[in-house]
């Protein structure tokens, strides 16, 4: 009999050094020197935030602090907890045939490790776009049940892929008859697969619309699903209340995905002027995942990136940034995503500096991971800003992130749902 994944997590967490979630008072008062209003860009001084339970109940109130935990941060700036809409918590930077040695139970445990790392890095909400065996669904549920610390997760389960596509299992020879969990071809089959993935707990549907970089035998520029197949995927997902994220590097795949009605384009490396115009017309978000290019240039040799991946990585990263800049300059809606797992989890906030280098202001970069990301997720009423009635997901940094966005790489406090996980 197979051991249930959640039982393994519960059994092994004490051995891995994971503590139970800290028990906090029901009322918490934060006094901070500054707070950034991410909607307006205004920096507020001498701010008091009152938290009751897991929600923000008042800001700049004179409420009594008797019985409350008081957190004094006179030199810090408060911001809402950050949101990363493109993570793979259950994966680590393991490439090529080494991937075949990672079992589903181990992937679940990797997710438990990375969930805590990501939360402590200041990311209190993530969208997990692709996992084997519904390990991200199990991880989400374990976090929600208080079994282990981690961010709020919108989980996709397995990504949809054509046979032999970027999200299929292409490392094993024919006699293994290996197929990834999300492999489906043709309108009838992709409809069935969307319904199956939702049946097993997915919050969002991930579809691989083009080839990719870290996969064998495909071309990132080539479209994979047809326009008709993607329209069927989106129609079923939206009717059943799920948004759709489309992995898409190539120009045609980007255009078809946006035309089909997906909610976000992930990566967008070869986006052209026609694609930019289409994303603007349709209101499709672009999730650029740019820091991974820098990390890979510095570490590809050290980590032994297989040549079949390294060549594609070099080609894609050589063209991606200038195309993404065109999208920025044209006013395409941008949401913050990292593809963490291509590089180590916890480095997510390095993405901000790349956005600024490409041409965003620090405020615009911060908005991609707060108000914009919350809008993409459909969670504007819950997260993305420090406001009364929203979850008490708050981080603090020492200094002014509007002057130095790299401060977000080292939060001095991380709170999720009124519970403090980091305080330096």
Tell me the catalytic residues. Answer: 206, 339
Calculate ∠ Cα 92-200-105, nearest 5°.
Answer: 35
Q: Which two tokens stand for residue 362?
A: 């620090």
User: Encoding tokens for residue 92?
Assistant: 């680590």
Nearest to 72 by CA among 391, 423, 394: 423
| Cβ atoms within 10 Å, residue 23 | 6
Residue for token pair 């991937």: 99
* E strand or H helix that includes residue 51: strand 43-52
- Taken in order 296, 301, 303, 305, the sign of the CA dihedral is positive
Cβ neighbors of 346 (< 8 A, separation 6 or more) are: 117, 118, 120, 121, 340
Asked whether 157 and 107 are in contact (CB, 8 A), the reply is no
* Strand-pair category, 285-287 with 394-398: unpaired
Cβ-based burial of 267 (10 A; exposed 0-12, middle 13-18, buried ≥19): buried
């Amino acid at each position: 009999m197979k051991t249930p994944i959640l039982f393994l997590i519960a059994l092994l967490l004490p051995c891995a050094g994971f503590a139970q979630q800290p028990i906090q008072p029901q009322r918490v008062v934060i006094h901070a020197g500054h707070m950034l209003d991410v909607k307006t860009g205004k920096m507020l001084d001498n701010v008091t935030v009152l938290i009751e339970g897991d929600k923000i109940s008042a800001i700049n109130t004179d409420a009594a602090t008797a019985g409350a935990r008081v957190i004094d941060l006179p030199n810090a700036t408060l911001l809402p907890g950050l949101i990363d809409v493109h993570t793979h918590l259950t994966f680590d930077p393991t490439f090529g045939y080494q991937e075949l040695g990672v079992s589903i139970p181990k992937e679940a445990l990797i997710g438990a490790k990375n969930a805590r790392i990501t939360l402590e890095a200041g990311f209190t909400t993530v969208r997990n776009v692709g996992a084997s065996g519904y390990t991200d669904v199990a991880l989400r549920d374990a976090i929600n049940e208080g079994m282990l610390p981690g961010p709020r997760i919108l989980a996709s389960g397995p990504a949809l892929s054509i046979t032999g596509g970027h999200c299929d299992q292409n490392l094993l020879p024919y006699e293994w008859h290996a197929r990834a969990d999300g492999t489906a071809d043709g309108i009838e089959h992709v409809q069935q697969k969307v319904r199956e993935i939702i049946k097993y707990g997915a919050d969002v549907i991930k579809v691989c619309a083009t080839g990719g970089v870290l996969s064998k035998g495909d071309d990132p520029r080539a479209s994979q699903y047809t326009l008709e197949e993607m329209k069927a995927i989106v129609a079923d997902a939206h009717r059943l209340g799920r948004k759709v994220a489309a992995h898409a590097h190539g120009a045609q795949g980007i255009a078809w995905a946006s035309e089909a009605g997906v909610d976000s384009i992930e990566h967008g490396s070869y986006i052209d002027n026609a694609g930019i115009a289409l994303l603007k017309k349709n209101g499709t978000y672009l999730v650029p995942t740019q820091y991974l290019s820098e990390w890979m240039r510095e570490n590809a040799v050290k980590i032994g990136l297989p040549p079949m991946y390294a060549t594609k990585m070099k080609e894609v990263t050589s063209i991606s940034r200038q195309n993404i800049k065109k999208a920025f300059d044209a006013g395409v809606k941008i949401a913050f995503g990292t593809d963490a797992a291509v590089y180590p989890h916890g480095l997510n906030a390095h993405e901000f500096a790349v956005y600024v280098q490409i041409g965003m202001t620090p405020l615009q970069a911060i908005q991609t991971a707060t108000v914009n990301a919350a809008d993409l997720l459909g969670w504007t009423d819950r997260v993305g800003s420090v406001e009364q009635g929203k979850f008490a997901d708050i981080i603090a940094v020492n200094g002014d992130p509007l002057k130095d966005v790299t401060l977000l790489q080292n939060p001095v406090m991380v709170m999720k749902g009124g519970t403090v996980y980091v305080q330096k």
